[in-house]
Every structure is written in structure tokens, then in C-alpha cells.
Amino acid sequence: MMEHIRAIGFDLFNTLITVEPQTLQEANARLLRSLLQSGFMLEEDDFRKAHRQAAMDHLSECRKDGRETHNRFWISAALSDQGYQISPDDWRIAASVEAYFSAFLDCCRLIPETGSMLETVKKKYRLGLLTNFTHGPAARDILDYLGITPFFSTILISGELGYRKPHPSVFVKLVEQLRVETHQVLYVGDDPEPDITGARAVGIQPVWTTYVMDHHVPYARGILTGVPEPPDPPVPRISTWQDLLSLLNG
């Protein structure tokens, strides 16, 4: 079934790694603390509500055209709501972004057996990573921290590409970087809309990984995270990395 596959692309969050449930709460606390230390006089509850609304507004726009947003725009909009007209490129906002994402390093965990799986498949396939994440440097820090950067011949992050899954351009870029034909790429992801629909739309073979769901692993839920609907039509589904190896060898 998979004899023609020469390369495998992976999603990151809830596919290779999980982020502990308290992460966003801690990240937002660090964000606010950074802004207060920079001299902004903010009322905690009011700022949190404004920041959450700004994030929801920007992420909803992303879903319309696929263009990636960035946290600095959310923070700038939230500060504007609180009476501060501050450019998204202001150094104080940049510092707060770094403070926000510092929480992720403390809270990310590899899904069991991920390292050994990557080591095994790298012997036969070219490996790529394609993830939706607004701040590229933080994503790369996470990969380095968890020790999986060397497994990938290409690492593509939506915050650096300017578009996010399921936009076709990011999957086309993945194929180009892997230097194979589109039909020779397998893409493994947990979220049917961006991962399965996005990959299939450009001719990549998608695989739905449901480890986190099947094993009831607690994880940080994003602002717009909902319960995933199974892909239609169905695609190969895996619940463990052994399932992936069996699929590749079947």
C-alpha cells in the first residue's frame, strides 16, 4: 500500500508532542507580568478579556484566507483597548511575546516512543515538519529542547511562512523542501481540518493520528480548539507509532 512513499511530513502539537493543560494560563500570566514590568498600568481581568478577544478576532480572520497572524498584533490590539496606542513592533510587546512563549518550554512533552519512531523511519524516509505556530523562534526552541530537530530535513512553521494549514501553499512548500513528488509524501497529523483536508487537497496521502484522543491525554486547548470531526472520506488512522510502522510496512 505504501511502497511509493519516500518522505513523511509530521504535524507537531498533539502529533509528536503534547503541551500540558495549564500552559496557556501560565503563558498569559507571564505575558501580563512582562507588560506590567514594562510600565503599562493594566487591570488584569480587563486586559485578559481584551487579549482573548483580539486573539479570537485575528485567528478567525486566519481561517478565512489562510494568512498567519502573530501574537504581537493581539497584544497591540488589547493594549489599544486599554488606552495604549502601541505599535505591534514596539520592543515592550516583543519582550512580552518572548515571556509568553517561555512557558511552553517548561510544559512540552514528547509523546511516548516518538524519538525511537523518528530514528527508525529516518533510515528509510526523508522527514519534514509542518506546524501551525505563530512564533517561529519559540517552535524551534521547543524542537531543540526536546531533541528532535536533527531528525528533520526541513522544518516549516506557519509563523515564518506567512500562511497556515490547511492553505495549499504550505503543503506545496513541504513537498518542495522534501525534494520528492507529491504522491510520494505521507503527512501525519491529529486535526482533520488543517492536517487531513489540507494534505489531501494537494495530493498528499494523509494519516490521522489519534493517540492523544484515544489515550485521553490531557493537553492545552487553543482558543478556537473544538472536538475534531472524523475526516470524510476516511483516511488511514493510527493510535500508536507501532501502527504507523505497520502501515508503512504493510
pTM of this prediction?
Answer: 0.94
pLDDT at 225: 59
For the segment 212-222, the average pLDDT, to the nearest whole number, is 84
Instruction: Check whether 215 has a pLDDT greater than 80.
Output: yes
pLDDT at 41: 96
Are the C-beta atoms of 51 and 75 separated by less than 8 Å?
yes
Q: Which residue has the cell 528532535?
A: 148
Helix residue ranges, H only, 147-193: 158-161, 168-178
pLDDT at 187: 98
Q: What is the pLDDT of residues 81-134, one digit of tens each?
A: 999 999 999 999 999 999 999 999 989 999 999 999 999 999 999 999 999 999
Terminal C-alpha separation, the chain: 6
What is the percent of the chain where pLDDT is above 70? 97
pLDDT at 223: 56
Closest CA to 198 of 171, 235, 230: 171
Which CATH superfamily is 7-20+109-249 part of?
A: HAD superfamily/HAD-like (3.40.50.1000)
Q: What is the pLDDT of residues 151-199, one digit of tens each?
A: 999 999 999 999 999 999 999 999 999 999 999 999 999 999 999 999 9
What is the percent of the chain where pLDDT is above 90? 87
Instruction: Check whether 30 has a pLDDT greater than 90.
Output: yes
Confidence category of residue 229, pLDDT binned at 50, 70, 90? confident
Lowest model confidence (mean pLDDT) among 65-69, 120-124, 136-140, 225-229: 225-229
pLDDT at 1: 60
For the segment 38-53, the average pLDDT, to the nearest whole number, is 96
Handedness of CA 19, 204, 166, 67 (dihedral sign): positive
Confidence category of residue 226, pLDDT binned at 50, 70, 90? low
Domain edges within the chain: 7-20+109-249, 23-106
Q: Which residues of 65-86 are buried (b: 16+ CB within 10 A; e: fewer)?
A: ebebbebbbbbbbbbeebebeb
Instruction: Check whether 250 has a pLDDT greater than 70.
Output: yes
Instruction: Check whether 224 has a pLDDT greater than 60.
Output: no
For the segment 34-45, the average pLDDT, to the nearest whole number, is 96
